[in-house]
Structure 1
């Protein structure tokens, strides 16, 4: 088991985003919000370099911009690229993790110890701020209040405006108040545009045959071959924060017998797994049904619609990579 210092030290952008910078983000000329988001990201990173002023004699801190930056927009517009660029532009100490990784950190270290260690940082970057559990979000919102009060700047991305998190999923009054309180600590920057992963590109490749899967895997030592149901069963036994290590260093992932997931629990685990594959740029080849059939029409109309569509977009890009 990793020591607390090692757990915190591991919070850095995944391999796909280790080389990104503001200079490598190419705004869509038809979407002015993208260029504006680059400017906002640069300005936020510059503010992080300046220590926040403490409270004065009478308990009031001078008026300053919100200590948080919230990049809101659809999938495939480069929000994670911008978030990682902010992280790279800031000198340490700093931390970067997905929402799942941050909740796992708090679970592993305890709330007080997590606050103590992260309070020593200038910046905490959180990717994919989304809701699977109102308890997790209440926990993280409390964490962010403690950290921003301690002078830590927080940057995050999401597909949902902060005061709309949980809409269509949870309706508890206390939970809604919690999210609205958190939203006041962020400046929201909208990033609009089409999914860049598929701009001008063909549709996803057709599913492979099982024989093609076996042949491709045999030609790539170290690659994996799994039955879809068996893979889903294995993911259920692991905390999603461990999915990244599951595929670290794997040259390609091959999945046989793909079909629609049976329920939301399995669906959200598949989403988390797909995100970690994308972070590490691991090509994916599948047999069975096409990737577009991974989530049912009912699921794509529900509260997690954006997550499912993002997952299909990312897996489609990885499926193209497997054919190259």
Structure 2
């Protein structure tokens, strides 16, 4: 399944693992098999999403997505009760139904978009092998592993494709994803996606979006946009994250906690540059707590974006974080927090803060 170094850590008394010593590899067939909601979202459903009464857009999103899932189920049989058929079946081009073929959840970080996207995946009536859930970076990596045509064949018979953290950071991805989704829609695949950016604004502030307006508008046409307003639920009514610990405390906790990892932050950032972001989930597979010493502000935007992906994978897998050095809200510079990727950075701070809160409980148990 994976190269040496990405197996699950050992038990009590074992030395902590070093993420920098891991070189994960994910075979193409595993990439496809693992296109399901991550562990944090295994048990979520529409019924477990608690809308903020002050934000009617949250209640509306649950209603619209529930109806979307119902239509997927209702269209799995023909109108006369006969055998299965697709909701968005392939029809002659001139007779293709007008309007978007999917839903797009836009909103700030922490409003529950991934919860709702995973709930839609769970509610879709298709068997797991005919519905897929993955992040944008995982989808683009799948194309790289399988090739474009094989990816179309692999996903083209699916009922639903859910894409979390939709992003267009370079022109190549814009054209690639636009072409892929167009082919999947032709095959009758329903689409759903989340992002912090409206589909017509994807790529804005990151590259010359005007040069790729046709592709971006083509992507937008596939989706009905649902705006979800609200505050970051991860920190409503909760105490602030613990202050950074002394390096000795982090090291002691790493040796005490079964399955923990221990790394110098700067060394880990350097290692991330040698691992494709789609493999970060495999990088932390089996790790029960990530312990980091010497946190400092990240030196550049490329490094910062890799850290964002790592934070997402740790959050998906509910891995607590213990750290010494700079607090998480000082990792990204003021320029970064005002630039085109600012929503990514704020999401990372939010998620790392939540995980640090979980990590604080582990340090407290250390006595």
What is the alpha-carbon distance in structure 2 between the residues aligned to residue 169 and residue 5 of structure 1? 32
- 1:106 is paired with a residue of what secondary structure? helix
- 1:85 is paired with a residue of what secondary structure? helix
Q: How many correspondences in the alignment?
A: 322
The answer for the alignment partner of 1:69 in structure 2 is 103
Aligned residue among 48, 54, 61 for 1:24: 48
Structure 1: stretches of 5+ with no match in the other structure: none
From the superposition, tell whether residues 229 and 62 of structure 1 become closer, same or farther in structure 2 (CA, over 3 Å).
Answer: closer
Residue 285 (structure 1) shift: 0.7
Whether 2:328 is the aligned partner of 1:288: answer no
What is the alpha-carbon distance in structure 2 between the residues aligned to residue 143 and residue 293 of structure 1? 38
What is the alpha-carbon distance in structure 2 between the residues aligned to residue 62 and residue 137 of structure 1? 25
What is the alpha-carbon distance in structure 2 between the residues aligned to residue 294 and residue 254 of structure 1? 16
The answer for the alignment partner of 1:59 in structure 2 is 94
Residue 59 (structure 1) shift: 3.0
What is the alpha-carbon distance in structure 2 between the residues aligned to residue 2 and residue 159 of structure 1? 28
The answer for the alignment partner of 1:232 in structure 2 is 269
From the superposition, tell whether residues 6 and 212 of structure 1 become closer, same or farther in structure 2 (CA, over 3 Å).
Answer: closer
**TM-score, normalising length: structure 1:** 0.96
Residue 302 (structure 1) shift: 0.5
Aligned residue among 213, 217, 221 for 1:180: 217
Whether 2:94 is the aligned partner of 1:94: answer no
Of residues 198-207 and 182-191 in structure 1, the stretch that sits farther from structure 2 once superposed is 198-207
Residue 217 (structure 1) shift: 1.1
CA displacement, residues 157-188 of structure 1 (integer Å, 9 cap, x when unaligned)? 00000000111112243412210111011000
CA displacement, residues 222-251 of structure 1 (integer Å, 9 cap, x when unaligned)? 201100110001101000011001111211
Aligned residue among 56, 59, 69 for 1:35: 59
Kindly report the root-mean-square deviation, in angstroms, between the aligned alpha carbons of the 2 structures: 1.4
What is the alpha-carbon distance in structure 2 between the residues aligned to residue 191 and residue 172 of structure 1? 24
What is the alpha-carbon distance in structure 1 between the residues aligned to residue 31 and residue 266 of structure 2? 31
The answer for the alignment partner of 2:13 in structure 1 is none
Aligned residue among 358, 362, 366 for 1:321: 358
Whether 2:137 is the aligned partner of 1:103: answer no
Residue 133 (structure 1) shift: 2.0
CA displacement, residues 122-158 of structure 1 (integer Å, 9 cap, x when unaligned)? 0000000012222112211110011011100010000
**Looking at both structures, which has the greater relative contact order when contacts are Cα pairs under 8 Å and sequence separation is at least 6?**
2
- Kindly report which structure 2 residues correspond to 1:1-324, keeping only aligned pairs within 5 A, or say none: 4-49=28-73, 50=75, 51=86, 52-55=88-91, 59-63=94-98, 65-90=99-124, 91-92=126-127, 93-324=130-361
Bigger Rg, which one? 2
Residue 97 (structure 1) shift: 0.3
What is the alpha-carbon distance in structure 2 between the residues aligned to residue 180 and residue 55 of structure 1? 23
Contact 1:97 1:125 in 2 (8 A): yes
Structure 2: stretches of 5+ with no match in the other structure: 1-24, 76-85, 362-367
What is the alpha-carbon distance in structure 1 between the residues aligned to residue 215 and residue 136 of structure 2? 17
